[in-house]
Amino acid sequence: LPTIFQDAIPLLKRIEQAGFQAYFVGGSVRDYLLGRPINDVDIATSAYPGEIKDIFPRTADIGIEHGTVLVIEETGEYEITTFRTESGYGDYRRPDKVEFIRSLEDDLRRRDFTMNSLAMDAEGVIYDPFEGQADIKHKIIRTVGKPSDRFSEDALRMLRGIRFVSQLGFELEPSTLMSLKSHSSLLSHIAVERKAMEFEKMIGGDFREKAMQLLLHSTLFKQLPGLAEQKEAIQEIAGLPMLKRLNTDQTWLLLLTYINDSPAEFLRLWKLPSKMIKERTKEKQILSFRTKGGWSKELLYYSGLQRVCNVEKVYECIHSISSSAIDELTKDYKALPIKNRQELTVTGNDLMKWTGRKGGPWVKVTLEYVEKAILNGEIINDQETIRRWLEKCSRSEKN
Ligand code: ATP
Ligand code: MG
């Protein structure tokens, strides 16, 4: 077993020794069977939350009303969730009632897809009452039970289905797909934050073009923030041959270039973190400069290497050019005489001291002037050189 499981086995054993059952469940078992990297291991147990807290000395209540206790051990932190059933999905999203139970099979039954309804015990034995292993083998995404029931209970599952298509390249089983198409409007009941988590995983997947086609065919895209009117944009993006070379951030940036709305407004609709919104908005601006006038030393400098790489990668994707431009730009960037204002050997204070003038907008203007001269190789970044150069400039200005 991978070490991520090995490390957690002592926890399963301790729960078993206390007289309860405990299993690895969900994505970790699926990804293990697929030979994919495992994010985190979720543990499900017949013990009630209070009983888990009696077994482990260090715990935190992170979602105790849903049966989840965080157990803190030397090897890491583990979410341990009591077997449960859910009922009464009056609003197409969260269950009205969560009931703790002692049966593994009933816990697996409430899960979304057969490939996600697998459990594995401390000995590595797999429990698979809904034939998830067969579906994994055939690369099929199938709901546990009747798709229309499962999508009406929680409409987010439809977007999750497409997200898994994107990550795994599987096909939606025909009746699951049909039901998804006929229930897509129910996604409107789901909170933006939950949609965003799935969408973000979706646009980073290796099979994202396939997922985007499914968003279109199922009309699920109409329920996504800022995308209801963007059918053509999604279609164009899905058709870009280099699409999967982009990481998640870069794919967001790509999206921004195909929709007409203001980047910041669009990203705010998704309620993304403000830092992320700022970054992408800035990159979008840099991309416009780069598209109009190419990379100057100044644009490289003001952008910073990370943004240069993101922007160029997206530029190449939009225009379907495969080149070594990013390597070249990285070299150019590294060869810049300064990388940021902190590296300047003069400060605003120096300028005020040299001239005897009070601070004001002129300080910033002068520093930018110095920066440009250094970047373009007119002078070197040496304090005395800069002082003399500025003196000379002001003298010739006066003449
Ligand atoms: P990832 O590797 O991206 O974390 P995951 O399958 O572990 O994928 P999670 O969102 O972490 O997905 O959920 C963990 C498990 O909980 C799933 O594998 C599934 O069994 C169950 N699950 C999650 N969301 C739902 C849902 N909306 N409806 C039913 N079961 C769900
Ligand atoms: Mg998970």
Q: Which ligand is nearest to the CA of 141?
A: 1
Q: For residue range 44-81, what is the model confidence (pLDDT) as tens digits?
A: 999 999 999 999 999 999 988 899 999 999 989 999 99
- φ/ψ (deg, to 5) at 183: -110, 5
Calpha distance 221→224 (Å, rounded): 5
Q: What is the mean pLDDT of the chain?
A: 95
Question: ipTM of the assembly?
Answer: 0.99
Q: For residue range 240-293, what is the model confidence (pLDDT) as tens digits?
A: 999 999 999 999 999 999 998 899 999 999 999 999 999 999 999 999 999 999
Instruction: Determine the topology of domain 344-398 in CATH.
Output: Serum Albumin; Chain A, Domain 1 (1.10.246)
Q: What residue's CA is closest to ligand 1, atom 10?
A: 27
Instruction: Determine the topology of domain 242-336 in CATH.
Output: Methane Monooxygenase Hydroxylase; Chain G, domain 1 (1.20.58)
Q: For residue range 176-216, what is the model confidence (pLDDT) as tens digits?
A: 999 999 999 999 999 999 999 999 999 999 999 999 999 99
Q: Which atom in ligand 1 lies closest to the alpha carbon of residue 197?
A: 10
Q: Is 327 annotated for ligand binding?
A: no
DSSP lists the bridge partners of residue 119 as: 25, 127
Instruction: Determine the topology of domain 139-239 in CATH.
Output: Hydrophobic Seed Protein (1.10.110)
DSSP lists the bridge partners of residue 396 as: none
What's the CA angle centered on 166, arms 114 and 312, to 5 degrees?
A: 160
Q: For residue range 87-144, what is the model confidence (pLDDT) as tens digits?
A: 877 777 777 788 999 999 999 999 999 999 999 999 999 999 999 999 999 999 999 9
CA of 136 to the centre of ligand 1 (A): 15
pTM (2 d.p.): 0.93
Residue 208 identity (one-letter amino acid): R
Calpha distance 199→259 (Å, rounded): 16
For residue 244, the Cα-to-chain-centroid distance in whole angstroms is 14
**Would you tell me which CATH number, out of the four given (3.30.460.10, 3.40.50.1860, 3.30.465.10, 3.30.413.10), belongs to the domain 1-136?**
3.30.460.10
**Domain regions of the chain by residue span:** 1-136, 139-239, 242-336, 344-398
Calpha distance 110→86 (Å, rounded): 7
Calpha distance 151→187 (Å, rounded): 9
SS (H, E, C) 180-206: HHHHHHHHHHCCHHHHHHHHHHHHCCC
Residue 116 CB–ligand 1 contact under 6 Å: yes
DSSP lists the bridge partners of residue 98 as: 86
Q: Residue 399 — very low, low, confident or very high, per pLDDT cuts 50/70/90? A: low
Tell me the best of 24, 111, 198 to mutate to test the pocket of ligand 1, counting ligand atoms within 8 Å of each CB and taking the most.
111
